[in-house]
Structure 1
Amino acid sequence: MEAVIADIRHELAADLDGAFPDLVRSRQDRIFSGVLRMVRHHADAADITQETFIRAYRALGGYEPARIEAMSLDGWLWTIAINLCRNRGRSRSPVPATIPEQPDRSVGPEELALRSTEEARWQQRLLALSPAQRAAVVLRHVVGLGYDEIAEATGRPVGTVKADVHRALTRLRRMVEREEAT
């Protein structure tokens, strides 16, 4: 994975317009998946993902090739995405969850309903966390970023990120245990 990113960085430094679609293709699903768990709504996540890449493209256009070659693209993209999530959270009031636009047709309606219910439960649990804990646990356990990358993306020290992940997992575990006890 790191070799792919290194190749993309090199290509971006040499030819931004030619290589940028490769960056988008290689990262958009991960960005979207993580953002969706932070903002809850499919349309918002799609908008934030798109805006992340628009801002990245504009910024990269002003960077020297050496700076592009040296940067951590994943951490940098996540910094943009997280800031957009924060801005979206400040500018909007919460609204009810929406039904997915294209349900999975490979499973029956009962299985689809169970998945939807369980996904809604996890979304509610995540929303009960502080924004910092939610971002940290999603980036670590959903997106799969390392603590250093999360620290870079969130602008928080590595120790704080580790504490946020630990506290979030502890809270999530307690929520699940309470639900199972009732």
Structure 2
Amino acid sequence: MDKTAEPLCERLATDLDDGFTELVRVHASAVHAFLLRVTGNAAEADDLGQEAFLRAYTALQGYSAERRRALRPRAWLMTIAANVWRNHVRTCVRRPVAGARVEDSCESWPAAGPGPQERADTAADRAVLVAALARLPERARVAVVLRHVVGMSYAEVATVQGCSVGTVKAQVSRGLGTLRELLEPEVALLREVTM
């Protein structure tokens, strides 16, 4: 368990409400970043993040103090967030929303870069990347986002995915390879335009 998790888990064990407030403060941005990248929609990521933390709090209420002390909070929260997202996807498949596109949500992301041209380029790059991520199979998408966006170790991703570290490494590798294939036409087009 990492050193930052120990005092947090102790707080969860001794005072659930205070500990949970700290859990949210420490891990909310990582949960949101994960959900934003797998959904491609900021509003949807916000809603799913709230649902994930609600489920986490509800689960913690049923845990003993010893179980809360032994918790690995980041991996545990990411597992909950991934399950909330998967449930959401299943619901959307059963009841699709007409006209919804992953690319539409990219316009609301804060753009980096000082000027309008840089902001436009960055937003366009994000839109292309989000669209490519959306085309990855679920397991590969989750593995790539957890590893390269959230910054989790392979062992933590394995915990979230419920598989071995070797399987996660293969999922990340395949996911990145597929992303390269999907993005290659965009990169080639960009090279032609800039030359």
TM-score by length of structure 2 reads: 0.86
Report 1:32-111 matches (<5 A).
Answer: 32-92=32-92, 93=96, 95-96=100-101, 97-98=104-105, 99-100=107-108, 103=110, 107-111=114-118
Residues 1:15 and 1:175: Cα distance change in structure 2 (over 3 Å): same
**Mean Cα deviation higher: 155-164 or 27-36:** 155-164
Does the residue aligned with 1:3 lie in a helix, a strand or coil? coil
> Which residue number corresponds to residue 122 of structure 2?
115
Identity rate, percent:
40
The answer to whether residue 138 in structure 2 is matched with residue 134 in structure 1 is: no
Segments of structure 2 that go 5 or more residues without pairing to the other structure are 190-195
TM-score by length of structure 1 reads: 0.92
In the TM superposition, what is the alpha-carbon distance from 1:115 to its structure 2 partner? Answer: 1.1
Q: Could you tell me how far apart the structure 1 residues matched to 2:145 and 2:111 are?
A: 23
Aligned residue identity for 1:75:
A
Cα root mean square deviation, aligned: 1.9
Segments of structure 1 that go 5 or more residues without pairing to the other structure are none
> What count of residue pairs does the alignment treat as equivalent?
181
Aligned residue identity for 2:108:
P
Residues 1:62 and 1:162: Cα distance change in structure 2 (over 3 Å): same
In the TM superposition, what is the alpha-carbon distance from 1:106 to its structure 2 partner? Answer: 7.3
Q: Could you tell me how far apart the structure 1 residues matched to 2:172 and 2:40 are?
A: 19
The answer to whether residue 148 in structure 2 is matched with residue 159 in structure 1 is: no
Q: Could you tell me how far apart the structure 2 residues matched to 1:87 and 1:64 are?
A: 27
Does the residue aligned with 1:126 lie in a helix, a strand or coil? helix
In the TM superposition, what is the alpha-carbon distance from 1:105 to its structure 2 partner? Answer: 9.1
